Amino acid sequence: MSALSKVDKNMRILVVDDFSTMRRIVRNCLKQLGFTNVKEAVDGAQAYDTLKQEKFDFIVSDWNMPNMMGIDLLKAVRADEELKTIPFLMVTAEAQKENIIAAAQAGVSNYIIKPFDSDTLTTKMEAIFKKLV
């Protein structure tokens, strides 16, 4: 049985991207996997405020955004006692080796390069939940 099939489908997911098109695509992909309890934020700063106000179980974030970059959001989340255990999936067009190493060092749960397909998202989420379940 897959790890994805065991997790609570009503978990709260925060999708962070400055492009609404990408937020909708990620939201739709998550819907296909059965996750419908999704909220959106337009940048890292708004995401961090939202995370401090509401409880979330999973974060999907872009890297390159105004106000607060995804990598800075990741660092802020990992440095925050209340938030540090939330799985954090980076979905980004930033595809330099340095980016991936920086994200890994900051505690990213997994990393997807844009453009991606729904199978890649499924595989990465499966890998993340396999470690947690």
Partner 1 sequence: MSPDKEHALQELVDALGKGDEGRIQELLNQLEIKSHSNVYERIGTMARELHRTLLEFNQSMSSENVTMHSTTLPDAVDKLEEVLKVTFQAADKTLNSVEEQNTILSSSYEALGEALETLKPDNIPDETVRTTLKEMLEAERERVERSLAINNEIMMTQEFQDLTGQALKKVIKLVQGMKDNISALIEIFGAEDLPPVQVAQESEQALDENKLDQGDVDSVLKDCGF
Min. distance of Cβ 117 from partner 1 in angstroms?
6
Going edge to edge, which strands form the sheet with 13-16? 38-41, 13-16, 58-61, 88-92, 110-113
What residues between 2 and 31 interact with partner 1 by CB under 8 A?
17, 19-22, 24-25, 28-29
Min. distance of Cβ 56 from partner 1 in angstroms?
22
Q: Does 133 bind partner 1 (CB under 8 A)?
A: no
The DSSP code for 79 is T
Count of chain residues binding partner 1 (CB under 8 A): 30
**Cα(66)–Cα(81) distance, integer angstroms:** 25
Identify the residue whose tokens are 């489908």: 9
**Cα(79)–Cα(131) distance, integer angstroms:** 21
Binding site for partner 1 (CB under 8 A): 17, 19-22, 24-25, 28-29, 32, 64, 93, 95-97, 100-101, 104-105, 110-118, 120, 127
